[in-house]
Amino acid sequence: MNFHYQYKKQFQQALVQWFIREKRDLPWRHTHDPYKIWVSEVMLQQTRVDTVIPYYNRFIEEFPTPEDLAQAPEEKLLKQWEGLGYYSRARNLQAGVREVVEKYSSTVPDNRPEIIKLKGVGPYTAGAILSIAYNKAEHAVDGNVMRVLSRVLLIKEDIALPKTKKIFEQAVMELIDPAYPSEFNQGLMELGALICTPTSPKCLLCPVREFCTAFQEGRPEELPIKTKKTKMKDLFYDVFVVQNEKKKFLLEKRPGKGLLANMWQFPMVEKSTTPSEGFLADSYNVDLVSRERLLSFKHIFSHLTWNMESYYLKVEQNGKPTESSVWFTEEEIKALPLPVPMQKIWAAWKETEAKHKHA
DNA sequence: AAGTCGGGGCA
DNA sequence: TGCCCAGACTT
């Protein structure tokens, strides 16, 4: 791409000055600590600012330095991340931070070749940390930047294709303001978040309107082009809050890889196999004492849906506990990282329990 | 290049 | 409902 010198300079100035004037007051904008910028960028991956803010504040309070995070047990880490989603981000962040502590004496690298090798740090996050924390002129292309630049530069390539991102990275490297790399990159993202939104962009308030090809041609809301299809699978489960005669509850730890890795859940049985309760009773050597219906709901993930029906079962042990069975008290469950669908079921159990006590 | 990986907000 | 969100990793 060939930009005229004056176009480039004026675009940079309009964007940077607008950002300095209009930027939101966000917690991670009160620091230049590359570790804290790193934490914020990982949390912000595919996640809205308003969602991240409370998580970021609690996380930094709990793990103020790379050493604090490096030493943390995984269960404590996941508990901090509980509800934020994409839990491998947390594990990868800790792995990356441990690399920094061990190989780089706790100093986050300030160059792309080294920083991009860290676990969980991809092309975007590398550029974000380098530009925001170290003020380096590096590209940081996320969904916002692709949307903004596809409109400003009228780029009609399909942003669902991985190779398309290179076009935007090159464009940023040619357009970026060498005097204000941090403000330039953040300005593009802030513009995408506040003005150049996916639907009904506020072009009349846009600081770079006069540089925007799509605005001049009249149809900015039709960009970017994205062709993608999501085929969702439906899964059906019975979930059991199982309480024994000692008032303890049965929970399972999910496998270390895959969906909700290493998170805890109440026993789940995929439906339409055998009768779920019988399967459960046999698996854990328990006799059913009573059964109460709890809650039915859908939980929608990116690529699949869990159709849940939950029950409260009181049981008595009729043999030795199986290896996979772990019994917890109500108090102990508070420390376990539970995915949101399990939190919903646990909340439903607490409600019925409170109702019983009152009656 | 396509699939996997959470959860919530909004038209 | 479908799409999007300060994406990275695996295959």
**Per-residue pLDDT reduced to its tens digit, A128-172:** 999 999 999 999 999 999 999 999 999 999 999 999 999 999 999
Between the two ends of chain A, the Cα-to-Cα distance in Å is: 73
- Strand C at less than 7 A from CB of A198: yes
- Strand C at less than 7 A from CB of A154: no
Give the CATH class of A233-358: alpha beta
The whole-chain average pLDDT of chain A stands at 94
Nearest residue to nucleotide C7, by CA–C1' distance, is A45
Pick the CATH number of A5-222 from 1.10.340.30, 1.20.58.1880, 1.20.1260.10, 1.20.990.10: 1.10.340.30
CB-based contact A154:A213 (threshold 8 Å): yes
- Contacts (Cβ under 8 Å, ≥6 apart) of A144: A188, A189, A191, A192, A193, A196
- Strand B at less than 7 A from CB of A261: yes
Write down which residues 244-263 in A have CB closer than 7 A to strand C.
none
CB-based contact A32:A40 (threshold 8 Å): no
| Per-residue pLDDT tens over the stretch A343-359 | 999 999 999 999 888 76
Neighbour count for residue A303 (Cβ, 10 Å)? 10
* Whole-number percent of chain A with pLDDT over 90: 88
* Whole-number percent of chain A with pLDDT over 70: 97
Write down which residues 160-189 in A have CB closer than 7 A to strand C.
186, 189
Which residue ranges make up each domain of chain A?
Answer: 5-222, 233-358
Lowest-confidence region among A71-85, A222-236, A296-310, A326-340: A222-236
Q: Which of A192, A180, A220 is nearest to A44 (CA)?
A: A192
Neighbour count for residue A55 (Cβ, 10 Å)? 18
- Give the pLDDT of residue A274: 60
- Give the pLDDT of residue A273: 58
pLDDT at A245 over 80: yes
Residues in chain A: 359
| Per-residue pLDDT tens over the stretch A55-95 | 999 999 999 999 999 999 999 999 999 999 999 999 999 99
- Give the pLDDT of residue A323: 67
pLDDT at A282 over 80: no
Q: Which nucleotides of B are covered by protein (CB under 7 A)?
A: 1-9, 11
- Give the pLDDT of residue A141: 98
Instruction: State the sign of the Cα–Cα–Cα–Cα dihedral A109, A114, A116, A117.
Output: negative
pLDDT at A103 over 90: yes
Q: Which residues of A are catalytically annotated?
A: 41
pLDDT at A325 over 80: no
Res. A3 pLDDT band, cuts 50 70 90: confident
Which amino acid does the sequence have at A231?
K
